A and B are shown apart, each in its own frame.
Chain A
Amino acid sequence: MRNIILLAAAAVFLAGIFPSCSGETGTAGTSDLYLLEELETARLVENADKRLERLEIFTANNSAHPYRLLAYEDILETMAVDKGDVEGALAYFDGLIKKEEDPAIRGKLLFAKFEFFREADSLRSVALAKEVLESGEKDFRLLMYMAYYLMGVEGQEEIVDAIFVRLIEVSEDEHRKNHARTIYAEFLEADGCEEKAAEVLELASSYTFANAPIGRRLWEEDRREEALERYIFLAAGAPGYRKYIKLDSLYSVVYPSSNDLESKIGVLRIVYGPQIPDREFVDIRGMRHSISGYRGSKVVITAFSPT
């Protein structure tokens, strides 16, 4: 029963980390909405066997569409929870990993398997992490999540270190690389390697969240003006941190007669980033949108999660 619950949890987690997908952008037209509606109809089929059949038809008909992963998740949950076939679900899972050609989706499937083992048997999760590392997998999120979760497992420092080194090596995108460096520094600090952690963090200092630990260290070293510079940068990119770190109070301690904190943060918020490429979307009401269609207007886009 425990395995069933854990596998279900892994399947739910799989939904939570719905993957990044590389490759063709394709036509993100009304078909996305149609496919989601079709998938949700399949999910509602009460009979588990019939539901499985519908979901398998969905994956067969949409084997190249990223939403196939959502159907995989439903199939796993139906097999493990509704039908109680944990072994069958795991075998199905391995089959998916073996045949999946999209590295991003394979990465998410591997992570879901890792997550299942992590809950059921941490030694198997470590073995899988080693296997993944040796196989040369480069999926950023797979490696990131594995490193993150193994950070909490005693005695696994070596593999965690190796995963972070790989992560930083394989990340071509500086934003991702700095995200990995920031988490790596957290691991190094917890492992007693403060000096190396500080070096790694400095390399990531253009990344918003690296400035939380950098600022904290500087403040503790009584380098308060430098610490505030880091904290202001942090608050510019992550507004909630202004209150969380009590920035206004810290600022008034160092600069008791200044009232320019707001303007300093405001100036740092403005960047000169790249032009975002065109893409077509359909919204949940069926209306079509394109990025190019909004050229000439300022646009505010919030990436959010309904969970």
Chain B
Amino acid sequence: MEELKKKEDTLGFKLLLIDGKGMLEKTRGIMDDKGVTIPVLLDSRQYSREVLGTMYTPTTYVIDAEGLIRCRLVGHSEDFNGIVADVLSRI
């Protein structure tokens, strides 16, 4: 994901992570170990599950400039960053 973050300016988007489990130290530890600088939002009221409709993690949502959900990707794949870049170019 950090590789994707490096493309924020080029591709014109903002990358966020959202975590509903509330395991603060564990999350911070993982982020520090992996050198992840992407903001991790604390989702105490389950925005991800109740509003976005997340059934499995990871699930990635691509939102357009008007705030509309334009793509939902469940899981991960080797070419994930390329997929996201393609989606961003189409919306």
Residues of A within 8 A of B (CB): 15-16, 18-22, 25-26, 28, 32-33, 35-37, 39-40, 65-67, 70, 104, 173, 175-176, 179, 208-209, 237-243, 266, 269-277, 279, 281-285, 287, 289, 291-292, 294-307
Contacts and interface: CB of A to CB of B under 8 A. Distances in A.
Of the candidates A243, A271, A277, A306, the one having the most CB atoms from chain B within 10 angstroms of its own CB is: A306
B70 A238 contact: no
Contacts of A26: 45
Interface residues of B, number: 70
Given A240-B75, A298-B14, A306-B26, A179 B46 contact: no
Contacts of B51: 276-277, 279
Nearest to A306: B27
Scoring A175, A294, A305 by chain B CB atoms within 10 A of each residue's CB, the highest score goes to A305
B57 A266 contact: no
Contacts of B39: 283-285, 287, 289
Contacts, number: 220
Nearest to B40: A284
Contact of B68 (A173, A238, A272): A272
Contact of A20 (B21, B49, B83): B49
Given A239-B76, A270-B71, A294 B47 contact: no
A175 B51 CA distance: 11
Interface string B20-64: 111111111011000000011111111111111111011111111
